[in-house]
Structure 1
């Protein structure tokens, strides 16, 4: 086996690329980024469906250390985000550190050697520090519908879009009404001969304040000192203020709910369809969606909304529980991701042979969403309790980069074999998170991808992002136990 690396990073999305850049800037060049796919980008590489775009403004959905002033729109499309990540990887010379087509199957901590032994599809390697940058939305969730494999036409998940399938004039069934479906439906409604949308739960959809940037605006952003940073700060402050409604005063959602109702009434004149599109749960309990063309698409004569539950898939299409058969040539499953498993399906073994999946059988736990007791020198990016409902995850990731760097530098400066978060510190953090989450809109009485099957919210941060940045400003030595190198 080759000599141990200082750091191995799993994943090459925003988390993996950003962490690699920050490590290199700190003088740590002995690092490897392992990527199972043939290109970098994470979710922005995988989700190439028609209409794929971000729901956070472009000036905020980018690294603070690498501003981009020439975004085409206020809300960036998938292609431009992926181009931006490739640009960052090239500029900061991360690409030579990336091993594409190298899937991690497992990792085991070797206590005697103080190393992570990592198993991959391309051979084994070892590292002093292991960083997981897998994210929360990387494993598509296909619904457990009877007969899916019997369908005679083309069927695929939205995150595995089959661009070889021509939808022109076809009967297309879309299963799901989440963030992906809201972008897909308007794009393909004008192409498909008939589109049938299967809705289990109506989403809240509000207008999207999107438009192309004008040439003069891009010129100002590029040439006027401070213009870009002012735009970013203004956007951050606007979005951060929304945390009050999500995590502290859910009644403030009434203002946004009024905006939703105005949008719905303005764009859906048919009262029957409008009633079917009215959610039956508190606003914000599930992800709030933004679109200017989703509701208009549902009023097209070739589009049908089906709210009857799906019973099974048959070769000809989809059968609902009322016995009706909805014929289809193509089925698109816009059914989200398995978001609460985090590092799954990798098998990660820590000290004493403990296995992370078993440790997390009642829901994932990690101090500050980053470190896990029993798993020394393992750091998670975008781990438990770090997702947001109101702001940019890139801001959260940059907070985590700084914290992980602090830990890595402590290992080096104090000549430590490993550091490991204390069990009582992790437990106290988890109890605090669950206590604070009970007051949030996410526990207002609905099922969502933020929850485990048992109804425990483990994904979201119940506070302001600036509070998270303050909490992760530097690792507190009192939170850890350590073994000093002999």
Structure 2
């Protein structure tokens, strides 16, 4: 059986409910939202570790006033994100348009038809297949949905005879038995690496981080306003996102002057390379932000967390680092190596629809999307039209 709607939104997280909230604000109701879990923000509830948090101050979100006051001057915690998103959905009357426990299995497009998108999946409650067709499709399933493992790690990880997991499977220190897995290697140098290594170190584990690239360090309250108030985003939007535009470098240089006043150059002290790119370019071009956990920075300075270079190979009892021949033993390994969108699982030629500009999809002034959606990835082949934006 086929069901017809003007718009289908896939994903009930930040991007998905942001789009739905904009529809509600503009009195548009011919849409449905498909969500695989049993709640709004289910990815945060079921597929993130307990200590993860947002990296934007909640007072800078575009959000209803009563939610703004409740979460003002606060970085939302893992347990708070689903509650915040649910309250946002209730405010805009989104919940009654959500179909929960629906797993999308195939998306196809017939460009010559008015209702050109066909979304097929399984209703997990009834265990039946259903198909929805629509004019406009918004896929808001995140670029961080499917665990990514680099090829060089993939080739040798099965040799390791002890415990090895991706950060997607980590919840808290009890994931490892400290009596068996005291020495932990974390491969990767991003936010998950910082947060997990901090938590494990505080729990008594001996943690080593292996990384292959440079990184900047800045305390969270110092750097987040530069991005979260949309100054950079609006500048990039004004200049048409053109990296080649002569004015683009001027914009980046302006922000570099501000960033450089606050950055902690502790790299030489902790054996962590300084990025080749200057701060603003580092954020825009690599889609990365600064390591901003103050406690993590303190642990690095105290040498409580050891820092190593690139892992060349994983062996039975540990790893061999680049430019080394000896084996360094570890009891457990966590791969903080990132995620991918995984759209190829249900959408053929997915890359043709994707934008790789981190700050590309910015909400209009009256769109009522949470401001963090400026850094979420969603797409439509035909853009929905907001009547009063």
TM-score range, shorter chain: 0.7 to 0.9
SS of residue in 1 equivalent to 2:87: helix
Q: How many angstroms does 1:35 deviate by?
A: 1.9
Change (3 A) 1:315 1:43: same
Q: How many angstroms does 1:241 deviate by?
A: 8.8
Match of 1:165 in 2: 175
Cα distance in 1 for partners of 2:99, 2:117 equals: 18
Unaligned runs of 5+ in 1: 211-231, 349-354, 370-381, 410-472, 475-486
Change (3 A) 1:386 1:93: closer
For normalisation by structure 1, the TM-score amounts to: 0.61
**Residues 171-211 of structure 1, C-alpha deviations (whole Å, 9 max, x = no match):** 1111111122222222221214311110211310112228x
Does the 8 A contact of 2:2 with 2:133 survive in 1?
A: no
Say which of 218, 229, 233 aligns to 1:236.
229
Unaligned runs of 5+ in 2: 124-128, 240-246, 364-369
Q: How many angstroms does 1:124 deviate by?
A: 2.7
Match of 2:242 in 1: none
The alignment yields a C-alpha RMSD, in angstroms, of 3.9
SS of residue in 1 equivalent to 2:79: helix
Q: How many angstroms does 1:19 deviate by?
A: 2.1
Answer yes or no: is 1:385 the counterpart of 2:364: no
Greater gyration radius? 1
Match of 1:306 in 2: 308
Match of 2:32 in 1: 32
Does the 8 A contact of 1:154 with 1:165 survive in 2?
A: no
Change (3 A) 1:193 1:65: closer
Match of 2:142 in 1: 135
SS of residue in 1 equivalent to 2:294: coil
Match of 2:298 in 1: 296
After superposition, where does 1:151-300 map in structure 2 within 5 Å? 151-163=160-172, 165-166=175-176, 168=178, 170-209=182-221, 236=229, 248-252=250-254, 253-260=256-263, 263-265=264-266, 273-274=269-270, 276-284=272-280, 285=282, 286=286, 287-289=288-290, 290-300=292-302
Does the 8 A contact of 1:50 with 1:187 survive in 2?
A: no
Q: How many angstroms does 1:257 deviate by?
A: 2.7
Q: Specify which structure has the bigger relative contact order, considering alpha-carbon pairs within 8 angstroms and separated by 6 or more residues.
A: 2
**Residues 246-297 of structure 1, C-alpha deviations (whole Å, 9 max, x = no match):** 763333314423432xx335xx8xxx53453433443232423122122221
After superposition, where does 1:100-115 map in structure 2 within 5 Å? 100-110=100-110, 111-112=112-113, 114-115=115-116
Change (3 A) 1:93 1:161: farther
Does the 8 A contact of 1:158 with 1:332 survive in 2?
A: yes
Q: How many angstroms does 1:65 deviate by?
A: 6.6
**Residues 101-145 of structure 1, C-alpha deviations (whole Å, 9 max, x = no match):** 322222223445634221213323222232212233323212221
Change (3 A) 1:101 1:60: same
Cα distance in 2 for partners of 1:404, 1:334 equals: 34
Cα distance in 2 for partners of 1:72, 1:20 equals: 23
SS of residue in 2 equivalent to 1:209: helix
State the aligned residue count: 350
Match of 1:226 in 2: none
Q: How many angstroms does 1:8 deviate by?
A: 1.7
For normalisation by structure 2, the TM-score amounts to: 0.74
Does the 8 A contact of 1:313 with 1:319 survive in 2?
A: yes
Change (3 A) 1:24 1:2: farther
SS of residue in 2 equivalent to 1:135: coil
Does the 8 A contact of 1:44 with 1:82 survive in 2?
A: yes
Cα distance in 1 for partners of 2:312, 2:375 equals: 40
Match of 1:149 in 2: 158
SS of residue in 2 equivalent to 1:264: coil
Change (3 A) 1:20 1:288: closer
